[in-house]
Amino acid sequence: MKIDHFAVVASRSPDAQAALAEITSKYKVSKPENADVIIALGGDGFMLETQHRYLNHEKPIYGMNRGTVGFLMNEFNSDNIIERLSIAHSSMIHPLRMTATNIHGTSKTALAINEVSLLRQTRQAAKIRISVDEIVRVPELICDGTLVSTPAGSTAYNLSAHGPIIPLSSNILALTPISAFRPRRWRGALLPHEAKVELEILEQKKRPVSAVADYTEVRDVTSVLVIMDPSVVINFLFDPEHNLEERILNEQFTP
């Protein structure tokens, strides 16, 4: 990929701001709307924030880790940036689209690159009915919550909730319970990427639940619809030796 202009954005952390100063002292950078690539300096959370912020620009985003985990980021190095961008590998994914309806009948739509999660708001366990393609699959899940994850997000919250790691090219979604009490033996399901998942909150006044799409939260929901949106493309750039497909595969062999 030929790169003539790149932009740089950074989180507010001291490490990210120092990296921003280092890069801008070495290179002439463009505004995001005029750039071929946007470089994001920070951690995974900032990468997701940057992808959402510049979604309408349809620019590939190359992350350099100045945060904590950095699973979605490349190693930080201010040398040879143009060369690195030119040979970077592209990983394109489609996000999930969440439509959450609250107790007042108001609906909110948001995109999720990693996952859509439902979480109990109080000490009371949540009760959730799960339907897939309009067929009730779990009549009553008593739990702390549940989530629907993309392959890219399968190594994030999904993995922490003991969900499966999903190869990027598998066209599969993970439906994973969070601390399920009943049915006690249910560990979740793998679904085709075109599946329509509907989550209905039972006893919602007594057992309130919030819904989160990446970092967009809707509280006191009554129902949540989750589908993958093929009309939206998220474009990550990675160094050839550390592409996203390989990272997800490696996670399955990490002790």
Q: Are residues 105 and 224 in the same domain?
A: yes
Say if residue 58's pLDDT is above 90: no
Q: Are residues 144 and 204 in the same domain?
A: yes
Q: Are residues 32 and 148 in the same domain?
A: no
Q: Domain for residue 76, yes or no? A: yes
Residue 126, domain CATH: 2.60.200.30
Q: pLDDT tens digits for 81-117?
A: 999 999 999 988 899 999 999 999 999 999 999 999 9
Whether the Cβ atoms of residue 248 and residue 155 lie closer than 8 Å to each other: yes
pLDDT of residue 70: 79
Q: Are residues 36 and 139 in the same domain?
A: no
Q: Are residues 110 and 89 in the same domain?
A: no
Q: Are residues 107 and 213 in the same domain?
A: yes
Q: Are residues 79 and 161 in the same domain?
A: no
Q: Are residues 135 and 42 in the same domain?
A: no
Q: Are residues 224 and 246 in the same domain?
A: no
Q: Tokens 């319970």 belong to which residue?
A: 177
Q: Domain for residue 182, yes or no? A: yes
In the chain, the amino acid numbered 192 is P
Q: pLDDT tens digits for 166-185?
A: 988 888 999 999 999 999 88
Q: Are residues 104 and 223 in the same domain?
A: yes
Q: Domain for residue 1, yes or no? A: no
Task: Enumerate the active-site residues.
Answer: 44
Q: Are residues 83 and 53 in the same domain?
A: yes
Domain count, the chain: 2
Q: pLDDT tens digits for 46-56?
A: 999 999 999 88
Average pLDDT value for residue range 48-69? 91
pLDDT of residue 243: 75
Q: Domain for residue 138, yes or no? A: yes
Q: Are residues 101 and 210 in the same domain?
A: yes
pLDDT of residue 249: 79
In the chain, the percentage of residues whose pLDDT exceeds 70 is 100
Mean pLDDT of the chain: 93
Q: Which domain holds residue 55?
A: 6-93+233-251
pLDDT of residue 247: 78
Q: Between 69 and 165, whose confidence is greater?
A: 165
Residue 43, domain CATH: 3.40.50.10330
